[in-house]
Amino acid sequence: MSGEDRTHQMPAPVARATRRARDTAAETDELRAVRRAIGLGLVIWPAFFLLDVFMCGVVHPETKIERFAIYRSLGEAGIFLAWWLARGTSLRVVLAANAAMCVGAAVLVSVMALSLGGLASPYVHGISVIVLVESAAIASHWRRSVLVVLPTALAYPAVMAVAAPFDPNLYASLARARDLWAFASHYVFVLASAFIATAVSHAVWRAKRELREARRLHRYRLDAPVGKGGMNEVWLAWDETLKRRLALKILRSAEPDAVTVSRFEQEAQATSQLTSPHTIRIHDFGASDDGVYFIAMEYLPGMDLRELARRHGPLAPARAVHFAIQACRSLAEAHERGIVHRDIKPANLFVTRIDDDEDGLKVLDFGIARVRQPAASATLSHPGLTVGTPAYMAPETLVGSSADERSDIYSMGATLYDLLTGTPPFPAPTMQAVFVAHVSEAPEPPSLRRGEPLPPRLEALVLRCLEKQPSQRYTSVRALTEALEGCLDEPGWTVDDARAWWEAAPAQPVRSPAQ
């Protein structure tokens, strides 16, 4: 049974999400290729003006070069417009811009050919150049290639058909067998180039696809890269043994040191102990025969809170509290098992569907967690080593003290501050300034940073989490959770609220955690 067949056995929404994620890499590669092809056109098209000068000056001196300068300028303007449209937009728009560029260039070449020899002009080979450059720059399925190459190749007879009623010489040439044979002798090369271009483009596309499908790690087939961060990369993968989709986190270092491997392994061990629905699930940990370390985890379609806030701005207070409560439920279980996360931040809180909740949240990346274990056991940290993300780190950890549960509470407060205002508590220009601010400066009230009032109890909660002295913060994450549940003067964020928000929001790319 093929991977595509297996995908169809999943629930329809999940199947669609995994297929989109699997295709992300191929679409990204094609986007880059098409944009490169358009950029190449910006350079190649005006370069052929030198050929125009030769043809008008030597072969057809009766033809004015000024007309060709206009044609080249129009073509360059069209290519520039295609390049502008191809910036930061969807694959469909980029492909349409590329097709329009190719057909438009072929029409201009056809018009120039009629001025340089008419029906039998060798200038028609310029269309061959267009289709061959297109196939060399872009590898795509033959159906997609035909949509570009065929209209491009047919531009010359189309232009002749339109021009013939207005050009007596051209019209007379269409009735002469000798001229038709001369036209055919040139145009057959255009058709051959179109066929070769389509075949080569499809062959390269197929080879790339087979290479992607052939990638394996242990018992996992790597379908598509979905993220990269730090020393790790994350792939959408298929478990050949248990027949399920998952995300495979791979240690990218070719020769990882002992500390790196220890952190990677203990991330798997620490996270696998946790059963909260708000903690990402770990399925497997291991290394391939050639020493590539990996963690197999549940695949989560969605996006992290950093990306959500970046796209849509500060969150509504009720929604921010909804996310914070879920994160605290994950942390509460971790703390009870002696695990301190040490890197709570928006990028490590992932929004995905959990049961009926479109705004479900999973806590990610226990890679630098501190695990309270017997002295004989290894830990993920070393005395005096500062680890974490400075913008969200507790003051005591920045001055070398060990992180504990109250350090996670501070980071949770900093994260909630960011979700409500759009910036972390101390957005200083340098890391040193961030350190100093966390240790010695009082945070600006989030309502002032946001520019509008916040529920007073919510603002007081955030500021209490950000107290410099651990003893002045909430005593536990469970206490923080209880405070969060009672801090709003309005109804909380509901499942219906989340569903309505996502239905109204612009379509979002499917992502997967990449830490």
Q: What is the SS3 string spanning 14-30? A: HHHHHHHHHHHHHHHHH
In DSSP terms, 354 is beta-bridged to 357
For the entire predicted model, the pTM comes to: 0.60
d(CA 103, CA 42): 15
d(CA 37, CA 42): 9
pLDDT for 371 equals: 66
Sign of the CA dihedral with 147 first, then 150, 155, and 161 last: negative
pLDDT for 378 equals: 36
Query: Does residue 436 surpass a pLDDT of 90?
Result: yes
Phi, psi of 44 (to 5 degrees): -70, -45
Over residues 317-368, the pLDDT tens digits come to 999 999 999 999 999 999 999 999 989 999 999 999 999 999 999 999 876 6
- Confidence class for position 373, pLDDT limits 50, 70, 90: low
pLDDT for 87 equals: 76
**Contact, 215 vs 221, CB < 8 A?**
yes
Question: Mind listing the domains of the chain with CATH numbers?
Answer: 3-212 (no CATH), 217-297 (3.30.200.20), 302-504 (1.10.510.10)
d(CA 56, CA 121): 13
Give the HSE-up count for residue 122: Cα atoms under 13 Å, Cβ half-sphere: 5
Catalytic annotation, pick one of 52, 284, 343, 418: 343
To 10 degrees, what angle do helices 142-153 and 125-137 make?
A: 160
Nearest of 28, 92, 14 to residue 224 by alpha carbon = 28
Share of the chain above pLDDT 90, in %: 41
Sign of the CA dihedral with 461 first, then 428, 350, and 399 last: negative
Is 52 catalytic? The answer is no
Q: What is the DSSP letter of 401?
A: P
DSSP calls for 233-295 = EEEEEEETTTTEEEEEEEE--SS--HHHHHHHHHHHHHHHT---TTBPPEEEEEE-TT--EEE
d(CA 193, CA 161): 22
Sign of the CA dihedral with 127 first, then 133, 138, and 141 last: positive
Over residues 233-287, the pLDDT tens digits come to 888 888 888 888 998 988 876 567 777 888 788 788 888 889 999 999 989 988 8
pLDDT for 211 equals: 67
Please give the structure tokens belonging to residue 340.
């301190």
